[in-house]
Amino acid sequence: MDHGETAGIALEAELREAVRLQQFELHYQPQVRIANREVVGMEALIRWAHPTRGLLLPAAFIPAAERNGLIVPIAEWVLRTACAQTRAWHQAGLPTLTVAVNLSALQFRQTGFVKLVSGILKSTGLDPCFLDLEVTKSLVMGAPETMMARFNELRELGIVLSIDDFGTGYANFGHFMNFPLDQLKIDPAFVHGLPASVESAAIARAIVSMGSSLGVRVMAVGVENRHQADFLRSIWCEYAQGYYYCMPLPAGEFQAWARNAAGDADADARETDREFMLAA
Ligand code: C2E
Ligand code: MG
C-alpha cells in the first residue's frame, strides 16, 4: 500500500466519524443584484470543523467523499440544513432569499433523489422556488435520458436549476439546450480576468447574451473588485457573488449582514424616491 492509499483510508475513517458526530457547518455567501446590491439569496458552502486541523474547505474533503460514497449522507445533511435555515430566515423577516446548494453528482444519481428533495422541502416548509440546485457541467453533459427526466421532475417541483462554472467547453450544445434551466453562473476563471482580458470579456458577453436568448438569469461568481462589478453591469449581467460584496459567513453573521444590507437597500430606495419627488 503506498502513502497516498494510506492517507486516503485515514481520511475516509475521519470523514465517517465526522458524519457520525456532525462536524460540518454551512457558511453562506450573499448573492446580489448588481444594480442596487439588493440581496437575492446565498450559496451554502460546506466546511468541516476538523477536531485538530481547524475549519477545512470543501477542496480538502469533498472530492474524497465523492469517491468513497460518504458524500451521500453529507449532501443530505447539507440540503436539509440549508432548507431549514432558509425557512427560518424567511420566518425571521428575510423573505426574498433563495438558497443555492451545490449538487453532488453521486447523490443526484441515487434512486429516490427527487423524493428525498421533495421530502426535505415538505418537512422544512420551504417553498421549492427558494431552492436553487447548482449542477456541474459534467452532470449536464453526461446526462442520459433517465437523468434528464430527473432534472425535469426537479423543475416540475418548482425548484430553480442553475449550471455552475459555466464557460467554455460545452461541445455538445444540443444536450444543454434540452436542459430545464433557470440560471447560468459564470465561471470565476473568466470573471477574474475582467475587464482587461479581451478573451474573458468576450466570454462573459457571450454568456450574458446566451442567457438573454434562453430567457435565463446570469450570475457572475468570484467578483472581487469594483472594476469587475462595473464591467458586468455594463454588459447587463444582472447578478453577482464574490468577495467584493461579502465573504462566505457562518449563519449568524450572514443573518446580521443580510439585515443590514436590506436596511441599506431600503435607504437607497427612499433616497431615490426623495430625489424623484424633488425633481418632480
Ligand atoms: P463553487 O460552487 O464554485 O463555489 C464558489 C467558491 O468560490 C467557494 O469556494 C467560494 O468561497 C469561492 N469564492 C466566492 N467568492 C470568491 C471571490 O471573490 N474570489 C475567489 N477567489 N473565490 C471566491 P469554497 O467554499 O472553497 O467551495 C469550493 C467548491 O466546493 C464549490 O465551488 C463547490 O463546487 C464545492 N462545494 C462547496 N460546498 C459544497 C457542498 O455542500 N456540496 C458539494 N457537493 N460541493 C460543495
Ligand atoms: Mg456553486
Instruction: Kindly report, residue by residue over 1-31, the tens digit of the pLDDT.
Output: 677 777 778 889 999 999 999 999 999 999 9
**Ligand 2 centre distance from Cα of residue 3 (Å):** 31
Residue 147 has pLDDT above 90, yes or no: no
Whether the Cβ atoms of residue 37 and residue 245 lie closer than 8 Å to each other: yes
- 203 exposure class (CB count in 10 Å sphere: 0-12, 13-18, 19+): buried
What is the reported pTM? 0.93
Residue 242 DSSP class: S
Instruction: Report percent pLDDT > 70 for the chain.
Output: 91
- Torsions phi, psi for 171 (to 5 deg): -65, -45
**Ligand 2 centre distance from Cα of residue 100 (Å):** 7
Confidence of residue 272 (pLDDT cuts 50, 70, 90): low
**Ligand 1 centre distance from Cα of residue 179 (Å):** 23
Q: What confidence score (pLDDT) does residue 44 get? A: 98
Measure the CA–CA gap between 42 and 268, rounded to whole angstroms: 21
Instruction: List residues near ligand 1 (CB under 6 A).
Output: 29, 45-46, 57-59, 62, 75, 78, 102, 104, 134, 164-165, 188, 221-224, 242-243, 248
Measure the CA–CA gap between 261 and 249, rounded to whole angstroms: 14
Grid cell 464557460 — which residue?
167
Residues having C-beta closer than 5 Å to ion ligand 2: 102, 134, 164
Q: Which domains does the chain have, with CATH numbers?
A: 3-279 (3.20.20.450)
Average pLDDT, the chain: 91
Q: What confidence score (pLDDT) does residue 280 get? A: 42
- Torsions phi, psi for 260 (to 5 deg): -60, -45
Q: Cis bond leading into 188, ω under 30°? A: no
